[in-house]
């Protein structure tokens, strides 16, 4: 049940309400873990008004981070899909006290729109600003979420900002702390979490909740295109030496041996692969090298029910063990194809790329699949992260989810990823299911297969489903023309990589 603190605030006879209109209770949020600010314009009882203007917007998260108004923001009925919103004139804002006493992760969701009549004013209008002292809010450790560079009209959308280390500064909605109000438009809901969202799926759950509630679209940076519905006719395999998606070799592919493995030997090729100990896994599942095996022509990664109390002193790990393998070298651009079957449990099966260079830390998740995660058995989850951008910690991500017409853990399928300077493309059985502009993913990365527990997304595996196995029949890689294919970490760190486009 929803905690009492998150139920609708009761109207009292002494409360000043903007309207007496009744609204049905909104559906429960997908996650309230770490929710520290919840401002909901559809709830008339959460607002105090005077002379037609909102003076206080009450926080529904139970943490009493109420927002105090400056100027005269107004509550407008029927603004979003029959629900009310707060209207900002460019001279209105709300301020809140700091939500944390120390630097911490922060994730912000805002539902907003700008009507044609509001489409004027300055660039970079602030939706949310967090500012410590007099430092600009667009420079770390401060942050701001804007409605975009310019100020044209836009339809209702959900904007997201997530950062790993935010200063404990005061917050502003619709302007900057201690500065000028700037936003012209309507804001319907603001959710602020004092935690990061480590999985794209958990992040997307909140976005989809807000999109459905307000009739809005998700406005993610460079969100790209994601397929809706089944695959079209899939290509026929003619040659194993070419990608299934390009059997005529129109792109001029040539193989990259360092990232190609048929897994036909009796052990993992340690000239290509490693299972490093520097990352222990995602709690509660601890990575164990014993869960990695090569047999019957497949690389298999296991998730097991196993007591780890004697293996690690970290008490966050318990009950489960999982597995992880990474290429020794780093890859950049090309086409990568695997034939695989995800594990038949709620443990994740993942195929991804990542780097942790001195100035750049990026990640591309070709897929994260919860083969038996309740309600997610058909979900093919794709994502791309930026963690550190040219020396500055700045985490954000953009991704998509394709719903397969089959349960993904039932059989082997071919999964491909095309990585070029211009775009990233995700294929299933030779057919594109997602494409997006390549704005930031230009540095070399390790290719990784792993399995993790993801309690906030897939839930924990049922014990009766373990052990379960993520099986990879092969991985094959190709590059075009004269592209440099592989790098060591020293080589990658010594190189000056192209800036984001």
Q: Which domain holds residue 284?
A: 248-494
**213 and 258, same domain (yes or no):** no
Structure tokens at 35: 């929710």
pLDDT for residue 214 is more than 80: yes
Alpha helices of 256-335 — where are they, by DSSP H? none
Phi, psi dihedral angles at 492 (to 5 degrees): -65, -40
Closest to 176 in 3D by CA, of 119, 134, 140: 134
**pTM, rounded to two decimals:** 0.68
Structural domain includes residue 234: no
DSSP structure string for 152-196: --EEEEEEEEEEEEE---EEEESB-TTS-B--EEEEEEEEEESS-
CB 362 within 8 A of CB 440: yes
**66 and 127, same domain (yes or no):** yes
pLDDT tens-digit profile of 462-477? 999 999 999 999 999 9
83, containing H or E segment? strand 83-89
What is the pLDDT confidence band of residue 232, given thresholds at 50, 70 and 90? confident
**358 and 298, same domain (yes or no):** yes
Rounded Cα distance between 174 and 88, Å, is 7
pLDDT tens-digit profile of 319-364? 999 999 999 999 999 999 999 999 999 999 999 999 988 888 999 9
Structural domain includes residue 199: yes
Structure tokens at 231: 């695959």
What is the pLDDT confidence band of residue 138, given thresholds at 50, 70 and 90? confident
C-alpha to C-alpha distances, 318 to 153, 185, 467, 469, nearest whole angstrom: 51, 49, 15, 19
**195 and 256, same domain (yes or no):** no
- We report the CATH number of the domain holding residue 44 as 2.60.120
Q: Which residues contact 496 (CB under 8 A, 6 or more apart)?
A: none
pLDDT for residue 7 is more than 70: no
pLDDT reported for residue 444 = 95
Residue 445 pairs with which residues in a beta bridge? 331
Domain count of the chain? 2
User: Is the backbone peptide bond immediately before 141 cis, with ω within 30 degrees of 0?
Assistant: yes
3-state secondary structure of 492: helix
**316 and 416, same domain (yes or no):** yes
How deeply is 149 buried, as exposed, middle or buried, from its count of CB atoms within 10 A (0-12, 13-18, 19+)? exposed
Rounded Cα distance between 479 and 19, Å, is 62
364, containing H or E segment? strand 361-370
Residue 415 pairs with which residues in a beta bridge? 338, 428
**186 and 277, same domain (yes or no):** no
CB 186 within 8 A of CB 76: yes
């Amino acid at each position: 049940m929803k905690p009492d603190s998150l139920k609708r605030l009761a109207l009292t006879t002494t409360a000043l309400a903007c309207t007496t209109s009744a609204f049905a209770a909104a559906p429960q949020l997908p996650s309230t873990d770490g929710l520290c600010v919840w401002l909901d314009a559809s709830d008339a009882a959460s607002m105090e008004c005077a002379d037609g203007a909102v003076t206080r917007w009450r926080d529904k998260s139970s943490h009493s981070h109420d927002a105090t108004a400056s100027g005269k923001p107004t509550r407008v009925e029927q603004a979003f899909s029959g629900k009310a919103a707060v209207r900002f004139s460019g001279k209105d804002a709300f301020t809140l006290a700091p939500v944390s006493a120390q630097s911490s992760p922060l994730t912000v969701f805002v539902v907003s729109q700008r009507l044609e009549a509001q489409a004027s004013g300055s660039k970079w209008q602030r939706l949310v600003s967090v500012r410590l002292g007099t430092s600009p809010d667009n420079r770390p450790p401060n942050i701001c979420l804007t409605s975009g560079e310019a100020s044209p009209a836009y339809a209702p959308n959900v904007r997201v900002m997530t950062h790993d280390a935010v200063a404990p500064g005061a917050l502003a909605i619709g302007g900057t702390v201690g500065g000028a109000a700037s936003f012209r438009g309507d804001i319907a809901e603001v959710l602020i979490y004092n935690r990061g969202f480590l999985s794209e799926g958990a992040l997307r759950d909140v976005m989809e909740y807000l999109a459905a509630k307000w009739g809005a679209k998700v406005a993610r940076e460079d969100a790209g295109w994601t397929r809706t519905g089944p695959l079209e006719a899939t290509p026929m395999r003619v040659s194993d030496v070419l990608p299934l998606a390009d059997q005529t070799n129109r792109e001029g592919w040539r193989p990259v041996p360092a990232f190609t493995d048929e897994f036909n030997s009796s052990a993992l090729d340690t000239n290509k692969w490693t299972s490093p100990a520097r990352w222990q896994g995602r709690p509660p599942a601890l990575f164990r090298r014993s869960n990695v095996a090569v047999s019957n022509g497949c690389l298999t990664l296991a998730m097991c029910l196993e007591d780890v109390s004697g293996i690690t002193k970290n008490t966050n790990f318990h009950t489960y063990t999982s597995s992880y393998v990474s290429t020794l070298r780093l890859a950049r651009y090309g086409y990568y194809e695997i034939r695989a079957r995800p594990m038949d449990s709620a443990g994740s099966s993942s195929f991804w790329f990542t780097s942790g260079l001195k100035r750049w830390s990026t990640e591309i998740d070709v897929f994260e699949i919860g083969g038996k995660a309740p309600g997610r058995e058909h979900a093919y989850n794709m994502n791309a992260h930026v963690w550190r951008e040219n020396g500055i910690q700045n985490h954000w991500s953009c991704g998509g989810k394709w719903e397969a017409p089959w349960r993904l853990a039932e059989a082997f399928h071919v999964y491909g990823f095309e990585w070029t300077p211009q775009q990233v493309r995700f294929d299933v059985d030779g057919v594109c299911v997602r494409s997006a502009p390549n704005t930031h993913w230009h540095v070399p990365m390790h290719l990784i297969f792993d399995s993790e527990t993801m309690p906030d997304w897939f839930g924990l595996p049922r014990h009766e489903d373990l052990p379960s196995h993520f099986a990879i029949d092969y991985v094959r890689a190709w590059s075009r023309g004269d592209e440099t294919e592989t790098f060591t970490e020293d080589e990658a760190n010594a190189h000056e990589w192209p800036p984001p486009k």
